[in-house]
């Protein structure tokens, strides 16, 4: 049985194409992926991302506790700040990537991917001392993304005026962070479920007034791929290490222990995540083989048509040392040879900051 967003009826009333995603029935698109993608890049889009997990860790010592579980340091994370991190197994494989928000004194909101919500909760709950409370929240999450998002959100929530990237504020029962998954300036708005319909309606009206529109998970995927953001289950998973995924910037090895620390510190990567920009009209997709000079060197993990660039782009793991930035590559597209160049993402010139 698929879980439903508190806004399920609103999505259907808008004519959304619904689909299963990580155990949820979520809007995949409304007006169409390209139109929604373009609205976010040029104006604004509103996403319902309530499928994302919300795990609250509260009590004195919550930050030092998370230091024992996550790859990135949390003990120095100040009130009103947010930080990206990984949670790994003992072999250094990535169980999930997530963001931690300090939303109040001794209250940290951990937001994992939807498919990993229960696993992350169980891991933290099992390891937490009795002095800490670890619980899953049923909050709704709405993302306003795009160059006009600042005006939209600041008008509705004055407390976030001038809020910097990866900062978070609280206004009544609503938590608002300057974060997102699109590469544009954006905000994520967390509300208790009883405020979901009202908040969606107000934001949707404001986004429409700014020339934007509601956007589904298909556009969210093309937007994140243009930025080279990894998707857990595709580009990173329990068999992938931070070094292989190019995510060592989210790892702090010094002066502490956490699951996977020694493996991460000692292992040499055998594969490397790279970007592929097609030089012909063929579109790369997940699972397609990557070759160099006729030899198989890797596999595409995420691939799509870029609405911004109007070409095919992809992320792929290749054998470490087999290809570098600027090198030519080939993609087996259903028996046809596609031509590409190895690039370092992002594929588009954007910044969420």
Q: What is the pTM of this model?
A: 0.96
Give 270-343's CATH code, choosing from 3.20.20.60, 3.40.50.2300, 2.40.30.110, 3.40.50.620. Answer: 2.40.30.110
Coil/strand/helix, residue 285: coil
Residue 313 has pLDDT above 90, yes or no: yes
CB 227 within 8 A of CB 237: no
Domain with CATH 2.40.30.110 in the chain: 270-343
Mean pLDDT of 323-330: 95
Burial class (CB in 10 A: 0-12, 13-18, 19+), 255: exposed
Angle at 142 between CA 138 and CA 144, to 5 degrees: 165
67 pLDDT more than 90:
yes
Q: Report d(CA 92, CA 258) in Å as an integer.
A: 10
Pairing label, strands 213-214, 45-48: parallel
Query: What is the number of residues in the chain?
Result: 353
Cα 352 to Cα 82: distance, rounded to the nearest angstrom: 14
Q: What topology is assigned to 51-137+239-267 in CATH?
A: Alpha-Beta Plaits (3.30.70)
Q: State percent of the chain over pLDDT 70.
A: 100
The pLDDT value recorded for residue 59 is 98
Give the phi and the psi of residue 225 in degrees, each rounded to 5: -70, -35
- Residue 169: helix, strand or coil by DSSP? strand
Least confident of 90-94, 306-310, 320-324, 340-344: 320-324
Q: Is 45 helix (H, G, I), strand (E, B) or coil?
A: strand
Give the pLDDT of residue 346: 98
Residues 108-123, mean pLDDT to the nearest whole number: 97
- In the structure encoding, which two tokens stand for residue 349, read together? 């010139």
- For the chain, the first-to-last Cα distance in angstroms comes to 39
pLDDT score of 267: 86
Q: Cβ(189)–Cβ(141) under 8 Å?
A: yes
- What share of the chain in percent tops pLDDT 90? 98
Mean pLDDT score of the chain, rounded to an integer? Answer: 97
Segments of the chain assigned to CATH 3.30.1360.120: 3-46+139-226
3-46+139-226 is classed CATH 3.90.550.10: no
pLDDT digits (tens, 9 = 90+) for 255-300: 899 999 999 999 889 999 999 999 999 999 999 999 999 899 999 9
The residues with which 236 forms a beta bridge, in sequence order, are 232
Separation between Cα atoms, residue 244 and residue 157, nearest integer Å: 40
**Stretch 190-195: mean pLDDT:** 97
pLDDT in the model for residue 229: 98
Interstrand relation of 168-171 and 3-4 (parallel, antiparallel or unpaired):
unpaired
């Amino acid at each position: 049985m698929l879980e439903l967003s508190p806004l399920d009826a609103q999505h259907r009333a808008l004519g959304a194409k619904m689909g299963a995603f990580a155990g949820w029935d979520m809007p995949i698109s409304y007006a169409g992926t390209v139109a929604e993608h373009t609205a976010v890049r040029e104006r604004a889009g509103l996403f319902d991302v309530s499928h994302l997990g919300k795990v609250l860790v509260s009590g004195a010592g919550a930050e030092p506790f998370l230091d024992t579980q996550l790859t990135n340091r949390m003990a120095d994370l100040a009130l009103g700040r947010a930080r990206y991190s990984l949670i790994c197994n003992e072999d250094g494989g990535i169980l999930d990537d997530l963001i931690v928000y300090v939303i109040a004194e001794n209250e940290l909101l951990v937001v994992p991917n939807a498919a990993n919500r229960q696993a992350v909760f169980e891991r933290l709950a099992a390891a937490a001392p009795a002095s800490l409370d670890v619980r899953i929240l049923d909050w709704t999450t709405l993302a306003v993304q795009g160059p006009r998002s600042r005006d939209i959100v600041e008008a509705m929530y004055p407390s976030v005026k001038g809020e910097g990237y990866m900062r978070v504020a609280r206004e009544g029962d609503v938590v608002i962070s300057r974060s997102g998954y699109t590469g544009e300036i954006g905000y994520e708005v967390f509300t208790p479920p009883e405020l979901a319909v009202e908040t969606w309606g107000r934001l949707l009206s404001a986004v429409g007034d700014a020339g934007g529109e509601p956007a589904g998970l298909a556009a969210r995927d093309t937007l994140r791929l243009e930025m080279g953001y990894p998707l857990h289950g595709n580009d990173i998973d329990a068999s992938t290490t931070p070094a292989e995924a190019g995510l060592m910037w989210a790892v702090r090895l010094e002066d502490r222990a956490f699951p996977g620390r020694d493996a991460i510190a000692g292992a040499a990567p055998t594969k490397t995540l790279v970007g592929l920009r097609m030089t012909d009209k063929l579109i790369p997709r997940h699972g397609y083989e990557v070759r160099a000079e006729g030899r198989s060197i890797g596999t595409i993990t995420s691939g799509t048509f870029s609405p911004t660039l109007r070409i095919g782009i992809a992320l792929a793991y290749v054998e470490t040392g087999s290809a570098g930035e600027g090198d030519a590559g080939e993609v087996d597209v259903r028996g046809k040879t596609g031509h590409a160049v190895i690039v370092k993402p992002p594929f588009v010139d954007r910044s969420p900051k």
